[in-house]
Structure 1
Amino acid sequence: MINRRNMLHGLAAGVGAAFAPSTVTQRLLASPAAASSPGLGNTTPKRIVFFMQNQGFDPKTCIPSGMKHSGSLAKAKLPEPISPLEPFKDRLHIINGLHGLHTSPSHSAFFGALGGYRGSDGVPPSAATIDYELSKVLPQTLLPHLCIGMDSIENMTTKPTLATLSASGAGQPIFMHSNPNHLYQMLYGGISSGDIRLQHEARTSLMLQIEQFAASKGRSLPAADSQRYGQYVQGFKDANALRDRLGAVSDHLSKFAPTVDERYANPEFETDWHDRLLDLGISALTSGITNTLTIGSGRGEIFGAWKGLGIDQQGHNLGHMDQPDNPIWIKIRQYNSRMLVRIMEALESVPEGSGTMMDHTLIVYTSNNADKQHTNGANWPVMLLGNLDGAFKSGCFTQLDGKRPINALYASLLRAVGQNVDRFNMDDKQAQKYDAGNGPLKEVLA
């Protein structure tokens, strides 16, 4: 039996963290179709995708053989794990030599991977993460920041929402969605039919009742508890308001909603749900629901499963395997690379401005665990795909000296979207110890 108190607590926490940024919407959608619609603005939006693989990202699985120094990828052959990206080398930028020593990653840096601060299992975020900060700066959308998480079927079923990677501030985690049925209901329930429509309407009615009930009961609480309780009430208000806003653009959204197939309700493997979640993430980008998408493969923890790829090993065991030349990790990394290709091809297929949506997009692929399991974070490889409207160099490999932190890359991202910052989540005292430079990474910005 579901504990009513726990259910309401989870609902409030999840919706509050996920939807709070979208309370005031200046522009409903950030997509080519929306930009040409009356009253929705006509500027070309930008968008950023973060893809975080757990268990580390060994540089030997992404750096072409023989490349020791920075240079062009034009004549290089990509390693087998990322071979699906070979046709897209001109849009790829491989970066090696950033560090995350200050994040103390070990099994995972958790919120610290995108926050650039010390993270650990069970430790709340100490500041907003870069994905959330970017979502505030980019043109506002219905859902400025969407997080999806991929794991084993068991974990995605028992914990359909989990917060380990993204945060809107100190002690304010953002929940990622791991059940594609729930996420489809949230995004497209209002334009669906059959059981999905009935479930959507029932959930909407329940959420409205909870909001009204919670608001009335909260008035009698002591002052010390009233503020915290008010955050939960606001979470329900934001969730219900999101449903209203999505309903107002239902005709537009109907053009982008993925087809619901058997694998939503009856997945054979967890990868069936991984693929459905990716479809929903892509549709959220192409429809303009969001312009910041965070994907957590392994959900920022030490677990994860890929039985659909023929891999029986799962969870922590994968982290204790050497990644280079390992057939298991080749399968996982190639699967990731094919996902990156799907994102790029989907965005490339949608005209935007004088080009396509992909021309104004940047995909950041890395790990929440630096280079390997049980790492100290001394090397944190990153791959960039796209150039965000010409802001980043592409078609190249950059070898750094290990003296600049991942925070410097995040400051570079903020610079690329118009924020005049020199550091991200790092004060002068920390910088003296962990950063040999100041400002963005000149090596990656165009």
Structure 2
Amino acid sequence: MIVSKKALPRRTFLRGLGTAMALPLLDAMVPAMSSQAASAAAPERLRRLGFVYMPMGCDLSRWTPPGSTTLDTLSPTLEPLAPVRDHVSAISNLELRNAYPGTHATSNASFLSAARAKRTESTDYELATTVDQVAARQIGQQTRLPSLELSMDLLATVGQCDNGYACVYQNSLSWSSPTTPLPAEAHPRIVFERLFGEGGSAEDRRAALKKRASLLDSVTGEITRLRSTLGPEDRARVDRYLDSVREVERRIQKAEIDSKDDTLPDLDRPDGVPASYAEHARLMFDLQALALQGDVTRVITFQLARETSNRTYPEIGVPDPHHPLTHHGNDPEKIAKVAKINQFHVSLFAEFLARLAATPEGDGSLLDHSLYLYGSGMGNPNVHDHANLPILVAGGAAGKMGGNRHIRYAEPTPLANLHLTLLDKVGVRLDSFADSRGMVDELSEPLSI
């Protein structure tokens, strides 16, 4: 590692045995310029874009915020967002016309593409380049990973999965071209090694892993040398970041040990991950936070569960499989259980936002310099519609967006309008995206009450 007295390169890595660890933004990385110029330049470099997919829609009666302009009063499902509401906007009456005929496959496929999936059970599938990959082509080219695709489920199913649609439409949120779906990773260990490992083949990474007990142990000397060149605030930032990395690695190691004694594994869950859905999800969210903080990637997609997932949630008192519950036939008890799952998913996202908001970066926080879309490609799962989608937008986009607002359209409006807007917020300029008819101007306007 070469440390410059003038400015530490943003692409500085701590290197050890099978390790290449990026660092968070430090004062030592700010070029020698006036503080005003540095402040103006930093946010432009630090815009990130993330997408979190919630499967199978929701109970809209418990989701939709009661307020017409703000989130001062939250709906039951969105109540966990209370601590971070100033960073969040809800948007009602967005639709995905190209997701019809209403299926689970097209809900997932159209969410980030706003395109119509070719109906096929074979490998001649076709969709469109998704919004995350459009962003990755511009804002992802300066990072080690142009984009990061994550999920919670082991996506091993192939062939036909839903009314004549190939399983790939449910398995992949992200497509780098109309014929190239990107696989998502559900295993925290594999994600951890992708973020902080040296790279090379899978065999190389496994060999390095066997030779070191901890990733940080292999860069102890590098850490000591780096700290000797930094000021007190930067040393504290590095220490906090490395503590977070070590804690995530410890939780992954514990899950791997515990899984050896698991006599009843979840068929949808990879080996070596936490038995608790919440702990698994928190690990995946924490890995996203570390990836963003270290500028390993600036574009992330995360699938909270697969469409048609039969996952159960006993930890919140819902032992019933998720998918059958969504076909509730207006049974109040089943609808209440669906809403409980919806709120649980939102609570995990809210925890993630709180972590980003509590992570200082530059002239603000990690959340101030990020932008996340959370939602589903399905509205009412009981009828498989793609109207009035549950949609949230969170983050500051480096000063380009506010929060604590509820945007409610009088007429159904393309979700592609929002995709076009988010691209614009992170500096990707397009005239249109899919079936967009304009942008969500309300996200840029001052909130008037």
Answer whether TM exceeds 0.5 for this pair: yes
The farther-off stretch of 44-53 and 343-352 is 343-352
Amino acid at match of 2:97: L
Task: Give the secondary structure class of the aligned counterpart of 2:249.
Answer: coil
C-alpha spacing 1:362/1:121, structure 2 compared with 1 (3 Å)? farther
| d(CA) in 1 for partners of 2:326, 2:378 | 10
TM-score when normalising by structure 1: 0.69
1:246-296 deviation digits (Å, cap 9, x = unpaired): 99xx85785542132322442333443233222222222222212222110
Preserved contact between residue 407 and residue 425 of structure 1 (Cα < 8 Å): yes
Preserved contact between residue 84 and residue 354 of structure 2 (Cα < 8 Å): no
Preserved contact between residue 49 and residue 362 of structure 1 (Cα < 8 Å): yes
| d(CA) in 2 for partners of 1:149, 1:87 | 26
- Give the gaps of 5 or more residues in structure 2: 1-9, 14-21, 32-37, 159-167, 224-237, 260-273
C-alpha spacing 1:292/1:410, structure 2 compared with 1 (3 Å)? same
| Structure-2 residue corresponding to 1:319 | 326
TM-score when normalising by structure 2: 0.69
Higher helix share: 1
Aligned length: 358
C-alpha spacing 1:381/1:31, structure 2 compared with 1 (3 Å)? farther
Give the deviation of 1:315 after TM superposition. 4.4
| d(CA) in 1 for partners of 2:381, 2:325 | 10
Give the deviation of 1:351 after TM superposition. 1.8
Task: Give the secondary structure class of the aligned counterpart of 2:29.
Answer: coil
| d(CA) in 2 for partners of 1:121, 1:318 | 27
| d(CA) in 2 for partners of 1:270, 1:158 | 20
| Structure-1 residue corresponding to 2:128 | 127
| d(CA) in 2 for partners of 1:387, 1:158 | 37
| d(CA) in 2 for partners of 1:298, 1:370 | 16
Alignment of 1:248-287 (within 5 A): 254=242, 256-257=244-245, 258-261=248-251, 262-265=254-257, 266=259, 267-287=274-294
The farther-off stretch of 251-260 and 364-373 is 251-260
Give the deviation of 1:407 after TM superposition. 0.8
Preserved contact between residue 144 and residue 296 of structure 2 (Cα < 8 Å): yes
| Structure-1 residue corresponding to 2:227 | none
2:297 is aligned, of 273, 279, 290, to 290
The farther-off stretch of 261-270 and 378-387 is 261-270
Give the deviation of 1:396 after TM superposition. 1.1
The farther-off stretch of 371-380 and 315-324 is 315-324
The farther-off stretch of 120-129 and 163-172 is 120-129
| Structure-2 residue corresponding to 1:95 | 91
- Please say if 1:410 is aligned against 2:432: no
- Please say if 1:106 is aligned against 2:115: no
Give the deviation of 1:409 after TM superposition. 0.8
Give the deviation of 1:60 after TM superposition. 2.2
Amino acid at match of 2:344: Y
The farther-off stretch of 289-298 and 325-334 is 325-334
Task: Give the secondary structure class of the aligned counterpart of 2:374.
Answer: strand
Give the deviation of 1:54 after TM superposition. 0.5
| d(CA) in 1 for partners of 2:57, 2:331 | 9
| d(CA) in 2 for partners of 1:356, 1:124 | 41
| d(CA) in 1 for partners of 2:177, 2:27 | 30
Give the deviation of 1:368 after TM superposition. 3.0
| Structure-2 residue corresponding to 1:180 | 188
C-alpha spacing 1:259/1:203, structure 2 compared with 1 (3 Å)? closer
| Structure-1 residue corresponding to 2:114 | 116
Give the deviation of 1:424 after TM superposition. 0.5
- Please say if 1:442 is aligned against 2:434: no
| d(CA) in 2 for partners of 1:274, 1:388 | 24
1:145 is aligned, of 144, 147, 150, to 147
| d(CA) in 2 for partners of 1:284, 1:115 | 24
| d(CA) in 2 for partners of 1:360, 1:279 | 17
| d(CA) in 1 for partners of 2:92, 2:143 | 33
Amino acid at match of 2:25: A
Amino acid at match of 2:440: L
Percent identity reads 23
